[in-house]
Structure 1
């Protein structure tokens, strides 16, 4: 009887330890994947958008200071991508279209940033934006010509870009919400258009 009781206690303690370790290792059961953990870490850290020079499809150059006082929703792509990027931008376009017109350009701007600046020059970006009806103003497409500056941004926002054997890239994708002070505030699932739209609209409404 005593032996059985001890065994039960040992089993119970073991289960508690396993559950506790799982709780710690998954950020309170939320980080079930590396990507979820990455997003949670970014949301907690809230990194500032680095001082980089953007060059857009209209050949204008500027920093994020140009958007000070406005929220910015961002995606990272390369225009030669034929898999994830087109879906990412189509979904981005749907989110853009779901935002009340009074907010667009005033409270928020949309920004697509290429991480392939050698191929994605302003002319290429201009052609690419036409596929998604980006106006080049309230939804801009830009590159960061300086590779070191580009790397600083990708590192800060946890964007993983790995060259592949087909002269392209393997990369993760999301919507990145940067607030009016230039800090990353949220990382949104690009496949859940409804949730992303509701978050952005709700976030903007709270500021009015």
Structure 2
């Protein structure tokens, strides 16, 4: 009996140890949280892809150099998570002081369905979510290879089905002034995301006033 208890204890401790290391010290309890944690650690750089926005303007991601970029990945035919994702993005956008918008930060919704999300479609989508098309832009990446490179580097999983829809993960992605991913935020936690962004922007402004370097 005593030997049985010892064996059970050893097995439990062994399993707990595997779980600890497999979840990076209990910090990642699901595949998605593990992916998010890894992204924040790796801090990939946003590839300098060419974007085409709802105003039919084309430019590289360098357009936003020197500014933070708050990003979502969407497709406009989505009927479940994407509308909620963009509504929540709007709520975050509304909590950012006007003085920061366009100067310190730009909001950017990127479609991963460029075939269907033409500039005209993105323009209608933009208007529905009260995006101004400037400080909050909606765009697509026409180059399939460049688009996939971006999705892969930012851990965005996009799986097409037979009906023209996609299964995909969703989050808020925060890119710094040099194009480096510095945070992945839960899109359901609106106030927390807005607070994180505002704290970052305030710190950035304070650092600039003191003549220091910002990230």
Gapped regions of structure 1 (runs ≥ 5): none
Partner of 1:145: 142
| Secondary structure in 2 matching 1:37 | helix
| Secondary structure in 2 matching 1:176 | strand
| Secondary structure in 2 matching 1:120 | coil
| CA deviation after TM superposition for structure 1 residue 8, in Å | 4.9
Partner of 1:129: 126
| CA deviation after TM superposition for structure 1 residue 13, in Å | 3.4
| CA deviation after TM superposition for structure 1 residue 15, in Å | 2.9
Within a 5 Å distance, the mapping from 1:92-103 to structure 2 comes to 92-103=89-100
Matches of 2:96 and 2:165, distance apart in 1: 32
Gapped regions of structure 2 (runs ≥ 5): 206-215
| CA deviation after TM superposition for structure 1 residue 107, in Å | 0.9
The CA deviation string for residues 63-99 of structure 1, in whole angstroms up to 9 with x for no partner, is 1111111000000111111111100000000000011
Partner of 1:57: 54
Partner of 1:36: 33
Matches of 1:36 and 1:64, distance apart in 2: 27
The CA deviation string for residues 29-63 of structure 1, in whole angstroms up to 9 with x for no partner, is 12111110110111111000012100011111111
Q: TM-score, normalised by structure 2?
A: 0.91
2:13 is the counterpart of 1:16: yes
Partner of 1:171: 168
Matches of 1:101 and 1:117, distance apart in 2: 30
Q: Comparing 10-19 with 98-107, which one deviates more in the overlay?
A: 10-19
1:185 to 171, 182, 186: 182
| CA deviation after TM superposition for structure 1 residue 203, in Å | 1.5
Number of aligned residue pairs: give it.
205
Q: Comparing 97-106 with 15-24, which one deviates more in the overlay?
A: 15-24
Matches of 2:200 and 2:7, distance apart in 1: 49
Matches of 2:111 and 2:18, distance apart in 1: 39
Matches of 1:12 and 1:168, distance apart in 2: 48
For the aligned residue pairs, the C-alpha RMSD in angstroms reads 1.3
| CA deviation after TM superposition for structure 1 residue 181, in Å | 0.7
| CA deviation after TM superposition for structure 1 residue 144, in Å | 0.3
Partner of 2:73: 76
Q: Comparing 177-186 with 158-167, which one deviates more in the overlay?
A: 158-167
Matches of 1:90 and 1:136, distance apart in 2: 15
Partner of 2:151: 154
